[in-house]
Amino acid sequence: MTQNPARCGMRAAVSAGRRIGMPDVMASGFSSGIIVSNERIRSIPSMTPMMPYAPAMDTRQVEYAIAVADELSFTRAAHRVYAVQSTVSAGVKALETDLGVTLFERDQRGVRLTSAGESVLPALRALAEAEARARIAADPGGELRGELRIGVFSSVSYLALPRVIGEFHRDHPLVDLQLRSASAGSGELANDVRRGRLDLTLFGLPASAAAGLAVHRLSTTRYDVLLPADHELVGRPSIRLADLAKERFVDAPIGFGNRDVLEAALARRGVVRNVTTEVTETAAIPVFVAAGLGIALLPELLIPPNDDVVRVPLTERIDWDFSVVTRTSPGEATRVLLERLRAAY
């Protein structure tokens, strides 16, 4: 029988094994919880309306399915979960059989989620998170463990993030950390959090661009002008936008937070720039400025040390918010890292 996880209200009995019932995370009005038992993990119907049966599932199979959904590749998923591809394929197939639905389409074009897979995936993620919380609760030491997927900008070496993550790893070595960047910038990273592919991401767009997510502002910094050392404007205490009207600019592509925020601010002032060079690595922008390809406007926080360019304050104040985005109900590891990031800024 095809099961609809959006209607499966139940409780999961958790023991030393790795089988757990599907929670009713996709529907409101259904009770769910975790029962710790010495028995084999099994599905226990709740007392509220539900489907007549919900299968017990191996949480390792759930992990495989989530990895395939994230990577859209059985090969990459197997590498991620430290298993051979045949094991991942068999595990996903067994999960599909248990659920009575096909989660993935597999053909010569690759791997894609089916419509049923799109519907089931949020429940699978919630199930994995619930298991992680249960294991933490059952651990007398309360040690954090599991996986934490972090979205980062293409260049982060000059931010506090590496130090914060290093300290987090030393304090919580059982948490596996995965850092991922996005070629399309903050918007793509936020979408990955929304789809469940990331737990937390750095974010450089206004909060309105992360609808349905929690936006945590870490700091606000203003834009400065970057000039080649031999530029005629070097030596001024500040530079007006009007002084830059005829300049060529080096910038990140549209979609990157620092670029989109700046374009919106300039448009409100009626300023149109001539961006002749686009660079996906923000840290490389000063290098191209030094090479004479143009000047740049960058948030102070994103300007790495470079002796070959001169930084001058912009007379008109344009601010850029540096934030972190999470789901509205993040996991414990995400919350711990978020607090460390807040403290760092």
List the chain pLDDT tens, one digit each, 345 residues: 444 444 343 333 333 334 444 444 333 333 333 333 333 333 333 333 444 444 556 888 998 999 999 889 998 888 888 788 888 999 999 999 999 999 999 888 889 999 999 999 998 988 887 877 776 655 556 678 888 999 998 776 667 888 899 999 999 999 999 999 877 789 999 999 998 889 999 999 999 999 999 999 999 999 999 999 999 999 999 999 999 999 999 999 998 999 999 999 999 999 999 999 999 888 899 999 999 999 999 999 898 888 899 999 999 999 999 999 999 889 889 999 999 999 888
Q: CA–CA separation, 331 vs 298, rounded Å?
A: 33
In the CATH scheme, what architecture does the domain 5-138 have? Answer: Orthogonal Bundle (1.10)
- Residue 53 pLDDT: 45
- Residue 55 pLDDT: 55
- Residue 248 pLDDT: 98
212 — alpha (psi -120 to 50), left (phi > 0) or beta?
left
Helix, strand and coil content of the chain, in percent to the nearest 5, comes to 35, 25, 40
Look at the pTM and tell me if it is higher than 0.75. Answer: no
Q: CA quadruple 304, 305, 307, 310: dihedral positive or negative?
A: positive
- Residue 140 pLDDT: 56
Q: Yes or no: say if 265 and 241 are a contact pair by the CB < 8 Å rule.
A: no
- Residue 190 pLDDT: 94
* Main-chain phi, psi angles of 156, to 5 degrees: -130, 5
* Main-chain phi, psi angles of 173, to 5 degrees: -70, -15
Class in CATH terms, 146-345? alpha beta
Burial of 307 (0-12, 13-18, 19+ CB in 10 A): exposed
Tokens coding 331: 């996991």
Q: Please give the full DSSP string across 18-85, using - where no structure is assigned.
A: SEEEPP-TTSSS---EEEE-SSPP-EEE-SSS--S---EEEHHHHHHHHHHHHHS-HHHHHHHTT--H
Q: What is the DSSP letter of 290?
A: H
Tokens coding 51: 């489907």
- Determine the angle formed by the axes of helices 161-171 and 332-344, rounding to 10 degrees: 130
Q: Where are the domains of the chain?
A: 5-138, 146-345
- Determine the angle formed by the axes of helices 59-71 and 115-138, rounding to 10 degrees: 130
Q: What is the DSSP letter of 108?
A: T
Q: CA–CA separation, 76 vs 191, rounded Å?
A: 21
Q: CA–CA separation, 134 vs 184, rounded Å?
A: 36
Q: Yes or no: say if 291 and 175 are a contact pair by the CB < 8 Å rule.
A: no
Give the 3-state secondary structure of residue 159. Answer: coil
In total, the chain counts a number of residues equal to: 345
Tokens coding 300: 């102070």
Alpha helices in the chain (DSSP H): 59-71, 74-80, 85-99, 115-138, 161-171, 186-194, 257-268, 285-290, 332-344
Nearest in space to 14 (alpha carbons), one of 1, 27, 33: 33
In the chain, the N- to C-terminal Cα span, in Å, equals: 52
